[in-house]
Amino acid sequence: MSKGVTIWFTGLSGAGKSTITRILEKRLRAMGAKVEVLDGDVVRTNLSKGLGFSKEDRDTNIKRIGFVCNLLTRNDVIAISAAISPYRQVRDYNRQLIGNFVEVYTRCSLDACIERDTKGLYKKAIAGEIKEFTGISDPYEEPLAPEVICDTDKETAEESAEKVFKKLEELGYLDHLQSQKSN
C-alpha cells in the first residue's frame, strides 16, 4: 500500500474542519509523517484567486484542491483538505481521482455553526449581504458514506481528531510510521 493518503474534511463553514486539521497535522508530524494541508481559505487566496462562489467556480476550486492532493498522495504525502466542498459529485470525482481517500464529514448543526461564526459570515448571509452562502442560500450535500463522521457540536476537536487518527490506523495508512517508531 502506498504511504500517501488524502484526508478530505467536508462540512459547513464553522463546523470545525480547520481546527481538527491542525490537531491531526501536529500529531502526524510528531510521528514523522510528511503532511501538507490545503485549507479552503488559503487555497482560495493562492491557487483559486479570481474564482467566485457559483456552482461552476466552486467545482473548479474543489477539483484544483483534488488535483494537488492527488499529486501529494501519489508521492507518499498525507494530504489534508479542509474545504467546505459542498457538492457530493465533485467530492466523489476527487475520491476516484486520488484513490487513497478518507472522507471526514464534520457534521454540525446550522445553529451551532451560526453561534460559532467569528467572522460574521452567517449573519451577513442571513441578511442577504452574501449571496450563494453554503447552508443559507446555497445547498450543502452531506456525504452518503464518509469513512469518518465527526459530530463537532457534540464532541471536542480532540475527540474528533482521535476518530480520524483511529480510522487512518484501521485502514493501514499509518503502518509505515508506526514501524519506523519501533525500529
The amino acid occupying position 154 is: K
Confirm whether 23 is domain-assigned: yes
The pLDDT assigned to 45 comes to 82
In order of 17, 30, 98, 129, 144, the CA distances from 4 in angstroms are 20, 17, 10, 41, 24
- Per the domain annotation, does 95 fall within a domain? yes
The residues assigned a catalytic role are: 85
In this prediction, residue 49 carries a pLDDT of: 79
Residues of the chain short of pLDDT 70, as ranges, are 1-2, 178-183
Q: Which three cell numbers stand for residue 171?
A: 485502514
Q: What is the pLDDT of residue 47?
A: 79
- Give the pLDDT confidence of 115-166 residue by residue, as tens digits: 999 889 999 999 999 988 999 989 999 999 999 999 999 999 999 999 999 9
Does 24 map to a domain?
A: yes
> In the prediction, which pLDDT does 1 show?
46
pLDDT at residue 131, rounded to an integer: 87
Does 139 map to a domain? yes
Total domains in the chain come to 1
Residue 132 lies in a domain: yes
- Cell output for 20: 481538527
Structural domain range at position 32 = 5-178
Within-domain flag for 77: yes
> Which pLDDT score is estimated for 181?
55
Residue 183 lies in a domain: no
Please work out, in degrees rounded to the nearest 5, the angle formed at the alpha carbon of residue 117 by the alpha carbons of 23 and 19: 5
Specify the pLDDT at position 183. 47
CATH of the domain at 62: 3.40.50.300
What pTM, to 2 d.p., does this model score?
0.93
